[in-house]
Amino acid sequence: MAKPTGFMEYSRQTPQDRPVQERLQDWDEFHLPMLAQDLQTQAARCMDCGIPFCHTGQIINGMAAGCPINNLIPEWNDLVYRGQWRLALERLHQTNNFPEFTGRVCPAPCEGSCTAGRMGEPVSIKSIEYAIVERGFAEGWITPEPPPFRTGKKVAVIGSGPAGLACAAQLNRAGHLVTVYERANQIGGLLTYGIPNMKLDKAVVQRRVDLLAAEGVTFLTGVEVGKDKPTEDLREEFDAIVLCGGATQPRDLPLEGRGLKGIHFAMQFLQGNTRRLLSPDAAKVGWEERNGYGDFIHAQGRDVVIIGGGDTGTDCVATSLRQGCKSLTQLEILPRPPQTRTPENPWPEWPKTYKLDYGQEEHLALYGADPRQYSLTAKRFVGDENGWVKEVHTVEVEWRNENGRLSPREIPGSERIYPAQLVLLALGFLGPEESLLHALHVQQDERGNARAAAGKYLTNLAGVFAAGDMRRGQSLVVWAIAEGRGAARECDRYLMGNTQLP
């Protein structure tokens, strides 16, 4: 594949980012495009490895190893190397409905399992994926492709995040009449409201939504099923229903002082900021007051403490910096990861190593330090006389192996106090909101997710399927796309008796 000796001749190169001081002044995407010849050189590094773990999509030790949607990575790397970009796009779209999303926001488990990375640097797979699809749009190769026939079957997809959009795209391709219900004002789910604009420009999401609409998918916004649209009506009007509502119930931190003002879930903060960016009236005086403080949480001039890591924590760091926070600290209860793989974390597992993501990179450039404080946990929140949070009291922890399980233990005398007028809880999600599942009488598993077997996606109700985070729990965008595609395949089989969907 590609150039047999390329991985020995060329070093890894990734796109340059806009300078920190420049990008902190706006909400535009921060990655810069690479030249076509540089991308072809990077594609040349894809080696003829025999067994390409990059597209296996396995779960090893609870984490993705390789691409969950089984992207044909060596094939489109080879085509890019040979300058056959349009064929590379066709290969990419065979497995991935939305490479413009994954090429921007996916943490690239494929690169963690790249054979070239076993003894050196992995191939720049994510950068090449992004370049292929963006060239496809620029060249006019990506156009609406309505299905050649219609089956007459009607399917309702609840939720317009990556799982819902992928499911709708595939069912529409099979010829079914698909209606997507979204309770928010814009289509996209977490792609629109959960991921900041500098990481995924909302025009990119809308571009794909417009394409799907031109292919025949119907989108209804501002409609909450079970509230604005009775579930009984839905069962009568549609031949099948696919639940793709996500896992939107946030994990709380019930400590002393939790009821103080100024303590918010991370998604409240991120979603409010995105709604403001998308509002044509946001620049008008009094917008914040008219929309309420809970709708728009501002970090300007405040000491911010973010509790939790992951992508959401990083997005809170980057958003707080752009809003002009006074100071910022991110608390991580886990120890600082090692610089390189440990023997307990062998290839092709996801490398659990220290990484500096874009938000922490920006903080480092501004203040000379990573904002993350490791092996530290919050003990209590302390407020002022007006009921607003003013301090976060913390303590260091050490991790001990007790009965085969690691547990944190507080270190006496290690207490610290951080000033904070804004605290953001980025602790992940417990599962889906239960109102819709209860309204439809869908059974739930022990974690509260919609109970539907992997590979089948069918709930306890005939014709009602579940996919994405609502079925498997909080996960990656790429897993949501895989789930949406899988649910569409099984829904098509249910409706027609067989299926040609991949």
pLDDT in tens, 31-46: 999 999 999 999 999 9
pLDDT band with cut points at 50, 70 and 90 for residue 62: confident
Q: How far apart are CA 356 and CA 441, in angstroms?
A: 44
pLDDT band with cut points at 50, 70 and 90 for residue 256: very high
At 29 the pLDDT is 97
Q: Can you list the domains of the chain with their CATH numbers?
A: 6-138 (1.10.1060.10), 154-248+430-496 (3.50.50.60), 252-427 (3.50.50.60)
Eight-class DSSP state of 17:
B
Q: What percent of the chain has pLDDT over 70?
A: 97
Helix (H, G, I), strand (E, B) or coil at 244: coil
Q: What is the mean pLDDT of residues 12-21?
A: 95
| pLDDT one-digit tens code per residue, 71-97 | 999 999 999 999 999 999 999 999 999
**Which tokens hold the place of 62?**
């609870």
Contact between residue 242 and residue 158 where contact means Cβ atoms under 8 Å apart: yes
Q: Residue 306: is its pLDDT beyond 50?
A: yes
Q: How far apart are CA 203 and CA 161, in angstroms?
A: 15
Q: How far apart are CA 467 and CA 465, in angstroms?
A: 7
Residue 101: its H or E element: helix 99-105
pLDDT band with cut points at 50, 70 and 90 for residue 292: very low
Q: What percent of the chain has pLDDT over 90?
A: 88
Instruction: Find the DSSP H helices in 145-286.
Output: 162-173, 190-193, 202-214, 231-237, 266-278
Contact between residue 27 and residue 196 where contact means Cβ atoms under 8 Å apart: yes
Q: Residue 8: is its pLDDT beyond 80?
A: yes
Q: Residue 279: is its pLDDT beyond 90?
A: no
| pLDDT one-digit tens code per residue, 96-120 | 999 999 999 999 999 999 999 988 8
At 406 the pLDDT is 87
Backbone angles phi and psi of 317, in degrees to 5: -60, -55
Q: Residue 144: is its pLDDT beyond 80?
A: yes
| pLDDT one-digit tens code per residue, 152-181 | 999 999 999 999 999 999 999 999 999 999
Q: Residue 291: is its pLDDT beyond 80?
A: no
Contact between residue 53 and residue 74 where contact means Cβ atoms under 8 Å apart: no
DSSP string across 341-397: --TTS-TTS--------HHHHHHHHHHSS-SEE-SEEEEEEEE-TTSBEEEEEEEEE
Contact between residue 358 and residue 199 where contact means Cβ atoms under 8 Å apart: yes
At 402 the pLDDT is 82
At 294 the pLDDT is 45
Q: What is the mean pLDDT of residues 217-222?
A: 97
Helix (H, G, I), strand (E, B) or coil at 28: coil
At 287 the pLDDT is 46
Chain position carrying tokens 């302390």 = 382
Q: How far apart are CA 426 and CA 310, in angstroms?
A: 8
